[in-house]
Amino acid sequence: MPDLLTLLLDLHDLPASQLPEPARDAARSSLYDWLICGRAGTNEPVADKLRRFIAAEGGQGLASVLGAGTAPARQAALVNGATSHAIDFDDTHFAHVGHLSVGIYPAALAVGEETGASAGDVVDAFLLGSEAAIRVGMALGSAHYNRGFHQTATAGAFGATLAAGRLIGLTRDQMRAAIGLCSTRASGLKSQFGTMGKPYNAGIAAANGVESARLAELGMSSCADGLAGPEGFLQTHTDDPGHDLPPVGRWLLPEISYKFHACCHGTHAMIEALRAVGPVDPGDVAAIELRTNPRWLSVCNIADPGTGLEVKFSYAWLAAMVLSGRDTSAFDSYSDVVAADPALAAIAGRMTVTGDAGLSDMQAEGVLRLASGGQTPFAHDISAPIATDVLRDRLAGKSRALLGPDGGPPATLVGDLATMTAADLGRMLRGEAA
Amino acid sequence: MPDLLTLLLDLHDLPASQLPEPARDAARSSLYDWLICGRAGTNEPVADKLRRFIAAEGGQGLASVLGAGTAPARQAALVNGATSHAIDFDDTHFAHVGHLSVGIYPAALAVGEETGASAGDVVDAFLLGSEAAIRVGMALGSAHYNRGFHQTATAGAFGATLAAGRLIGLTRDQMRAAIGLCSTRASGLKSQFGTMGKPYNAGIAAANGVESARLAELGMSSCADGLAGPEGFLQTHTDDPGHDLPPVGRWLLPEISYKFHACCHGTHAMIEALRAVGPVDPGDVAAIELRTNPRWLSVCNIADPGTGLEVKFSYAWLAAMVLSGRDTSAFDSYSDVVAADPALAAIAGRMTVTGDAGLSDMQAEGVLRLASGGQTPFAHDISAPIATDVLRDRLAGKSRALLGPDGGPPATLVGDLATMTAADLGRMLRGEAA
């Protein structure tokens, strides 16, 4: 089996003609989702602070900044990575153990604008960068995550390096140097969770990717193998590296998972399962019996939430919202008023939740029993693939929920990409018409 | 004993009136040495590449760049850190396990220029940043270094953060956030040794310090304890943290050690010992018997060097150079012609080197036996303190050897600091008259 470095260099060298459409399609969906999350994050405090940080530095740049203006690619990548991760609504890749789009798309798009790339080039660079980041994340493994590192930042930086280097057109030797430089530059800890440091980590990944690729282009030298070599990133950053890595040509990005609900990820399988049941007469709910992976019981099983924030971690309240036809995708669905709603409380009081180690942490199962008689089993696995057209419809709905009917990227975006440039995408970041 | 974070915050809060003159004196000597190394590095390829990198970004800035021009503080710190470490001639602090000035002075001076600080403020900020970095380096310990991390970059970033934050005037809470942000941003691996990645590591430390301090000033939040807290820098970056840390008020910077010879650090104790013996008649050398710490035998005991580079790792050749009165401080003393010099070969052939585990790796001892009869024992410990005036004279000699009689900082620099500003120091970096 080729080593990790060779896998990354082979990905870098892969001709565009060998990128299959289903994998590109996943990258296009990720772009759509990333633009939605990015636009939705522009008013967050962390986004404002980082925009002020790069504005104070100044600098001539062609790379668009989410919210407004342009900057050098490294600065734009820092801001856009953090901004798009600020509301924690972006995609997750479970094998990579982290979020791909927020670390890699900001680097790809910023360098794509600098190099005059097409939108298709940016999508391809993201795809290859993601395939690299997922493999680095798998090689770092759960031992890395459990030690306290944040794959979104660490493995993500290597993905960002690959994406930026692809668009710059680095030679194979330059890409080897870029990976070496990234190995000494990449960082990011989970201790930041719950603070502005968490979205900052995504910006760090993106900025490190731009920096490593641009320095390699200028001829900076580095170690021969920054990943699996002596004192490389694996040896220093994980106690149990994974060795069984998928070969180039096995496309992993399509396993990515999107968030459609503005609440704890541990509740999403239940929400999807109950959405399939559909709204019911609230007075007719006799019992809701939910089984879920035991790890979630200490995370998102608040029986009687006192605030809107606690509702996001309450199976019972969220089940009541879904069965009442309430919107779980919008932020303003989670107010303190909702936490005190007696109609929701009446349904929530009929919920029982039990742990079931036979279910993965992406699964939920249960039974809805009606007072009028009859029962409806429900089940969902959020790792199950979603048909592309269904996915795009749901992303359009997410966009409307977060940004209003006209605030998000055009619903025709994915179809239009074939004729667009990175500069067109940049205008969307800045909030201008494409 | 206060925890590591409290030590750093207490250092940050220390009134200038509590900084003792001997410690400040050490910081002033380090500034002199750092300016020499910085000026000497400006023509190195890594310095040129990083200057081109930040020039492409542009940006308005008041911070001076070694060689020419000004830039925003974060960019100047990146270039200046790498430039001053490029020729590997800067100071070492053995308890910190790394180089202090190249990571911390670039951050202190760049932010000092931005904030209109006095030269004395910059010196104080470096002193406090160094005391912080040494303690972080000690807490990370040899387990960190042996795992593959480079304290110059990792612990150095925290020192740079403290120095930058002190000059910005961060509150204690802001400094806590800055340390938290630094904990997720700091990085640097030893795998870069022998490549441009090594000096880059010093620039990374300096740039990360500026970034962390400026983001904290803007109100970025981070974890409560980025150092010893859960999933903090210690837990993630060392398997055996040190706990016995010197309290605030015990000044560690004065234990710093300077390089006066353009060759392997493992040979410096012998060179100093033989310099004290003084030049002898080459024909009168019957035997040189050297004892040294066994670790050096595989590092710098090349008996018959074939190139100038190998001379730098040859006890025998270097002893012959010292006893012949040759200059070991200048780069051009180490040519391939020197490696083939028959006069040096004649003396070198009379050398025997043996390992002695009773000597530290900073000690060398031995005996010089003369054909005319008589013998002279020699010994040196480079950890022994040097009187300030002797040190300043030797630094002036180092400056002449590296930069010529007029190329370095003025020999009156240290005395002039009391009336200088950071802007005056900046002009020296840029190569303009102060």
Pick from B210-219, B276-285, B409-418: least confident: B276-285
Res B378: pLDDT = 97
Contact assignment for B184 to A197 by CB distance below 8 Å: yes
Using the Cβ of A433 and the Cβ atoms of chain B, whether some distance falls under 8 Å is answered with: no
Res B299: pLDDT = 84
**Gap between the Cα atoms of B178 and B183, Å rounded:** 9
Question: Is residue A221 predicted with pLDDT exceeding 70?
Answer: yes
Q: What is the ipTM of this complex?
A: 0.94
- Residue A169 identity (one-letter amino acid): G
Please identify among residues 67-126 of chain B the ones whose CB lies closer than 8 Å to any CB of chain A. Answer: 72, 74-75
Query: Containing H/E element for A261?
Result: none
Res A433: pLDDT = 61
Query: Containing H/E element for B285?
Result: strand B285-292
Please identify among residues 171-200 of chain B the ones whose CB lies closer than 8 Å to any CB of chain A. Answer: 180-181, 183-192, 194-197, 200
Res A317: pLDDT = 96
Q: What average pLDDT does this structure show over A388-401?
A: 94
**What residues pair up with B121 in beta bridges, in sequence order?**
none
Query: Quick one: pLDDT band at residue A25, thresholds 50, 70, 90?
Result: very high
Choosing among 1.10.4100.10, 2.60.40.150, 2.40.50.100, 3.40.50.150, the CATH entry for A4-257+387-430 is 1.10.4100.10
Question: Is residue A332 predicted with pLDDT exceeding 90?
Answer: no
* Torsion angles phi and psi, residue B299, rounded to 5: -110, -50
pLDDT digit string (tens) for B244-253? Answer: 999 999 999 9
Count of alpha carbons within 13 angstroms of residue A367, beta-carbon side: 7
Q: Which comes out higher in pLDDT, residue B215 or A362?
A: B215
Which SS3 state, helix, strand or coil, does residue B303 take?
A: coil
Using the Cβ of A228 and the Cβ atoms of chain B, whether some distance falls under 8 Å is answered with: no
Angle A64-A68-A70 (CA atoms, 0-180°, nearest 5)? Answer: 35
Query: Positive or negative, the Cα torsion across B122, B127, B128, B134?
Result: positive
pLDDT digit string (tens) for B354-398? Answer: 999 999 989 999 999 999 999 999 999 988 889 999 999 999 999
pLDDT digit string (tens) for A309-326? Answer: 899 999 999 999 999 999
Please identify among residues 13-72 of chain B the ones whose CB lies closer than 8 Å to any CB of chain A. Answer: 45-46, 49-50, 52-53, 56-61, 72
- Look over chain A and give the mean of its residue pLDDT values, rounded to a whole number: 95
Pick from A83-87, A118-122, A367-371, B90-94: least confident: B90-94
**Gap between the Cα atoms of B197 and B46, Å rounded:** 9
Pick from A73-87, A351-365, B322-336: least confident: B322-336
Q: Which of A158, A176, A184, A237 to mutate to test the interface with B (most CBs of B within 10 A)?
A: A184
Q: Which residues of chain A are in CATH 3.30.1330.120 domains?
A: 265-381
Nearest CA in chain B to A58: B59
Angle A9-A10-A12 (CA atoms, 0-180°, nearest 5)? Answer: 65
Pick from A21-25, A241-245, B186-190, B327-331: least confident: B327-331
Using the Cβ of A143 and the Cβ atoms of chain B, whether some distance falls under 8 Å is answered with: no
- Look over chain B and give the mean of its residue pLDDT values, rounded to a whole number: 95
Look up the CATH superfamily of B265-381.
Answer: 2-methylcitrate dehydratase PrpD (3.30.1330.120)
Distance (Å) from the alpha carbon of A204 to chain B's nearest alpha carbon: 7
Residues of B in contact with A79 (CB under 8 A): none
Contact assignment for A187 to B187 by CB distance below 8 Å: yes
- Residue B8 identity (one-letter amino acid): L
Angle between helices A101-115 and A422-430 (to 10 degrees): 120
Res A220: pLDDT = 97
Using the Cβ of B146 and the Cβ atoms of chain A, whether some distance falls under 8 Å is answered with: no
- Point out the residue among A59, A187, A188 whose CB comes nearest to the CB of B59: A59
**Gap between the Cα atoms of B319 and B326, Å rounded:** 10
What percentage of chain A reaches a pLDDT higher than 90?
88
Structure tokens at A23: 């994998």
Angle A339-A345-A348 (CA atoms, 0-180°, nearest 5)? Answer: 110
Q: What average pLDDT does this structure show over B323-342?
A: 92
Res B1: pLDDT = 63
Contact assignment for B189 to A231 by CB distance below 8 Å: yes
Contact assignment for A235 to B183 by CB distance below 8 Å: no
Res A288: pLDDT = 97
Using the Cβ of B299 and the Cβ atoms of chain A, whether some distance falls under 8 Å is answered with: no
Q: Which residues of chain A are in CATH 1.10.4100.10 domains?
A: 4-257+387-430
Structure tokens at A350: 């009929």
Contact assignment for A195 to B222 by CB distance below 8 Å: yes
Res A265: pLDDT = 85
Contact assignment for A220 to B200 by CB distance below 8 Å: yes
Residues of A in contact with B195 (CB under 8 A): 180, 221-223
Query: Quick one: pLDDT band at residue A1, thresholds 50, 70, 90?
Result: low
Q: What is the pTM of this model?
A: 0.94
Question: Is residue B205 predicted with pLDDT exceeding 80?
Answer: yes
Query: Quick one: pLDDT band at residue A434, thresholds 50, 70, 90?
Result: very low
C-alpha closest to that of A155 among A117, A182, A178: A182
Spell out the residues 6+ positions from residue A214 whose beta carbon is closer than 8 angstroms to its own.
A73, A74, A164, A168, B53, B56
Residues of A in contact with B83 (CB under 8 A): none
**What residues pair up with A149 in beta bridges, in sequence order?**
A189
Which SS3 state, helix, strand or coil, does residue A48 take?
A: helix
Asked if residue B58 lies in contact with residue A74, where contact means CB atoms within 8 angstroms, the answer is no
